[in-house]
Chains A and B, each alone.
Chain A
Amino acid sequence: MLAKRIIPCLDVRDGKVTKGVQFLANVDIGDPAAMARYYYEQGADEIVFYDITASNERRAILLEVVRTVAREIFIPFSVGGGLRTVEDMRAVLLAGAEKVSVDSGAVRNPQIIAEGARAFGSQCIVLSMQVKRGATRPQFPSGYEVMIDGGRTPAGRDAIEWAHEGERLGAGELCVNSIDRDGTKRGYDLEITRRISESVSIPVIASGGAGEPKHLYEAFTAGAADAALVASIVHYGEYPIAGLKLYLSQRGIEMRISQPC
């Protein structure tokens, strides 16, 4: 039986981890590779780096980070943020990432999904979507609208329709990030997570709002998610990943518990 995945997300700017992450005595908490190794050793199933570097000329720094991470951890990791072309994707994948994540760039140019899937396979392409409840236009049937540019700008698209289109274009996974819940620690938006997960045939990653272990339990049950993105819940050291996994597996959720071998 396939295990549910826990995926820590690290925001990286100019090659440094930017937020959260205050707890590690012996690790350079700004160093993405050190952080990745820490989460890898804790039992993370996958890691996401989200590059918030503003300028293109600093992009080379990100690639160096990816190369370093790829030498140190032996689980899949993905890189998102600012990838606009197949060449952007290729650079990140050749540097050692397993997957790329596209977001606003894919809303502006949906063909990037198809081109990426053709070039590298669907399993490489994660469509990350920012969704907001209470659509700004009544004609969005799901009641959720897609947002872009860090959740600031309405994209004029219905969330479920965009999920379907992303799947049709060749995305291999969908990451559904709730703008309403992001940073609130009130739990994932279970409604939209479940509705998308049940209407596509590719894995769905819940994102935004995890503050307690029970939120992950809810994402995997009521939310029908295949994986859960976590940030502050793990970055502050309150809930180590190994502890979260134990909590979930004790409640009947299939988890990968890493064993020494």
Chain B
Amino acid sequence: MVSIITIVDYKAGNLTSVARALEHLGQRWEITDQPERVARAERVILPGVGAAGSTMENLNRLGMADVLRRDVAAAGKPFLGICIGIQVLLDYSDEDSARCLGIVPGHVVRYQSSLDGRPLKVPQIGWNRVRQVRQHPLFAGVPDDTHFYFVNSYYPVPDDPAVTIGTGDYGVSFTAALARRNIVATQFHLEKSGAAGLRLLDNFCKCELPQFEA
């Protein structure tokens, strides 16, 4: 197990719920808004509640965006994005027309508000099943089709469908979890998804992620 997990504070969401979940797992953590610390981190979590535009503004203003690209993603460090933390990994989000981190090629779009003429509530709030479309150490010990807790109006569309490791169904089949080399990310709040979510978080803390393209 690594000695400490670094949680990126970008002055928006409530970061303490991820910290409390890590604590429950017996994992040490730090919360920081200092890019130098994130650059030196062993494993990094980008948690999130918030909109793409303000998240990117904050990450840029803090000097965090470049560090996440260069010293975390490209440096091969295990990196977990949660909720808005998955969406900003891509190139671009329709939400606020935000230019994002560009760590995973692709973009982010809004759920349709109707399906076959029937209205579909947006945001999606609640527990949805995640189909594990690819085997990945993040899912170790978690049954396929387990429910996780989602709160979002947008979802990521990676250019390379092979990065999708979990899908959900909300009017469309959407990417609920993705993985690319050292980077993993979930649309759902694994820190609020009961025992299954804690298991995923624990898996992230412990698992070996490939640093280079398989």
Contact = CB atoms under 8 A, between A and B. Distances in A.
A40 interface: yes
A57 to B, nearest CB: 25
Contacts, number: 98
Contact of B146 (A45, A122, A261): A261
A261 B123 contact: no
Contacts of A2: 124, 126-128, 150, 170
B151 A74 contact: no
Nearest to A204: B121
Contacts of A98: 17, 192
A121 B189 CA distance: 16
Nearest to B198: A74
B123 A123 contact: yes
B20 A75 contact: no
Contacts of B121: 201-203, 226
A75 B170 CA distance: 21
Chain B contact residues: helix, strand, loop or mixed: mixed
A173 B125 contact: yes
Contacts of A256: 127, 147
Given A70-B17, A94-B14, A75 B124 contact: no
Contacts of A227: 126
B170 A122 contact: no
Interface residues of B, number: 41
Contacts of B49: 120-121, 123-124
B51 to A, nearest CB: 7
Interface string A38-75: 00100001000000000000000000000000110011
Interface centre among A3, A75, A257 (most CB of B within 10 A): A75
B143 interface: yes
B16 A74 contact: no
A30 interface: no
A184 to B, nearest CB: 27
B192 A75 contact: yes
B193 A74 contact: yes
A8 interface: no
Contacts of B20: 70-71, 96
Nearest to B54: A121
Interface of A: 1-5, 40, 45, 70-71, 74-76, 93-94, 96, 98, 120-124, 172-173, 198, 201-203, 226-227, 256-261
Given A3-B129, A74-B192, 9 more contacts: A2-B170, A5-B126, A5-B127, A71-B20, A75-B149, A96-B17, A201-B122, A261-B141, A261-B199
28 contacts: A2-B124, A2-B128, A45-B126, A70-B20, A71-B23, A74-B192, A74-B195, A74-B198, A75-B194, A94-B14, A96-B20, A98-B17, A120-B49, A121-B50, A123-B123, A123-B125, A201-B113, A201-B119, A203-B121, A226-B121, A226-B126, A256-B127, A258-B147, A258-B196, A259-B146, A261-B141, A261-B195, A261-B196
